[in-house]
Chain A
Amino acid sequence: MSYILEQKQLDEIEQILNKDLIDLGVHSVILIDMAGNIVVDQNSGGSDHDIYSLAALAAGNYGAMNAMANIVGEDEFSLLFHKGEKANIHFSKVLSDYLLVTIFGKEVSLGFLRLKVAEVITKIGDLLPAQ
C-alpha cells in the first residue's frame, strides 16, 4: 500500500541514522522500502553513489535472497553482507517492508556494525508505518 511520511518522522529517522551509524564511521546509510523507493539517505559527505540504482538493486537482491532462503527451507537469511576491498554493504530488514542498507569501510568492524544496526532498527521501527 502507498504511504506518507511527515517531516517530523523523517527528521527523527535521519537523526537516529546520523547519531548511531554515520558518527560511527559508516560512509552511507539508505533506508528503502521493498519496492525500491528511498525513504531516507544519509552519508558522511565523501560518497556520491547512484543511490536510486542502488536502492532498486538492493530491493531486488534482498527479494532474490529471501526466495532462495525459502527454497532451502529457511524463512530468511539473517545476515546479508557483501565484502569488498574498500567498501562493504550490509542489509537488514526493518519491520516487514523496509530495508536498511549500510555501506562502510575497513575502519568499522562488522560485529560492532551489526550491534548498532540492531539498535537502530528497534528505534526507527517505531517511527515507520506498517504496510
Chain B
Amino acid sequence: MAFVNLKKKEVQAKIVYYGPGRGGKTSNLEFIYNRIRHKMKNEMVTIKTHGDRTLFFDFLPLNIGTIKGYSIRTQLYTVPGQVKYDATRRLVLRGVDGIVFVADSMTVRREKNIASLKNLEENLAAYQKDLYKIPIVMQYNKRDLGQKGVPLLSFAEMEKDLNSKLKAPRFGASAMTGHDVVATLKKAIQITMISLKRTLM
C-alpha cells in the first residue's frame, strides 16, 4: 500500500524481506544499515527475543533520493522466520509493495526454503495479493559458505525449487560479506517502483 504525498512530493513504499528462519534477512538489513548509518539520524529498529532471533520485525527507513522530482522513501522490514511466528509474519506483510525472498543456500535447508515460499504465497493471499503478480526478488544467500566446505545447493537446484514458475530476478549473495546485498535491494526497489507506476498511472 504505497502512499504518494503530492504536497511533499514524496512516495512511501514498503519492502519486506521474507524467508526461512536463520536465512539472513536481518543480516541483510544490518549490512545496509552499517553502510548508511553515518548518514542516518535514526537507528534501525529491531524487536528480538533473548536468543537474538527476530520476534516481530526489523525496520529500516531508507531515503533513496529522487525520481522525477519525487523523493522516494522505502521502508524495509524483515519478518520473523521461525514457523511458530506465522501470525506476526502475516501482520508485517500488510500493505507490502515489494518482496525480497532470502533463501538459505545450505543443502540442509532445502525443505525450509520451499515451505517458506509456500507460506509467503498463503499469507499474501490473506491480503488478496498474488505471489505471481507482486514485485519479488530472489536472493540465494550464504554463497560464501561453499568456500568453507559447507554443502550448498547449486544455483540451478535453487532456481528449480523456488524460481521455476516465478522467474523473478535472482542473486547469489552473502549477507555476511555483503556480496550482492545492495544489488538485491536496488533490484527490489526498481521493480517495486515500476509496478507502482503501473498501478497508479
Contact = CB atoms under 8 A, between A and B. Distances in A.
B12 A67 contact: no
Given A64-B91, A67-B87, A2 B1 contact: yes
B102 interface: no
Interface in B4-60: 4-7, 12, 14, 41-43, 45, 56-57, 59
A64 B88 contact: yes
B42 A53 contact: yes
B41 A50 contact: yes
A10 B43 CA distance: 28
Contact of A57 (B42, B45, B96, B199): B45
A118 B2 CA distance: 26
Interface string A14-58: 000000000000000000011111110000000000101100110
Interface in B95-128: 95-97
Contacts of A34: 1, 94-95
Given A2-B199, A64-B88, A53 B6 contact: no
B42 A2 contact: no
Contact of A56 (B4, B5, B7, B59): B59
Contacts of B97: 2
Nearest to A70: B87
Contacts of A53: 42-43, 45, 59, 61
Nearest to B87: A67
B163 interface: no
B94 A63 contact: yes
Nearest to B196: A2
A110 to B, nearest CB: 27
Instruction: Classify the interface of chain B: helix, strand, loop or mixed.
Output: mixed
How many interface residues does chain A have, given as a range? 20 to 34
Contacts of A59: 94
A38 B6 CA distance: 13
B182 interface: no
B87 A56 contact: no
B77 interface: yes
Contact of B1 (A11, A50, A131): A131
B130 to A, nearest CB: 14
A5 B41 CA distance: 27
A7 interface: yes
Interface of B: 1-7, 12, 14, 41-43, 45, 56-57, 59, 61, 73, 75, 77, 87-88, 91-92, 94-97, 196, 199-200
7 cross-chain pairs, A with B, having the tightest CB-CB distances, nearest first: A35-B95, A63-B91, A2-B2, A52-B61, A37-B12, A35-B1, A37-B3
9 contacts: A5-B7, A6-B6, A35-B1, A35-B95, A37-B1, A53-B42, A53-B61, A60-B91, A60-B92
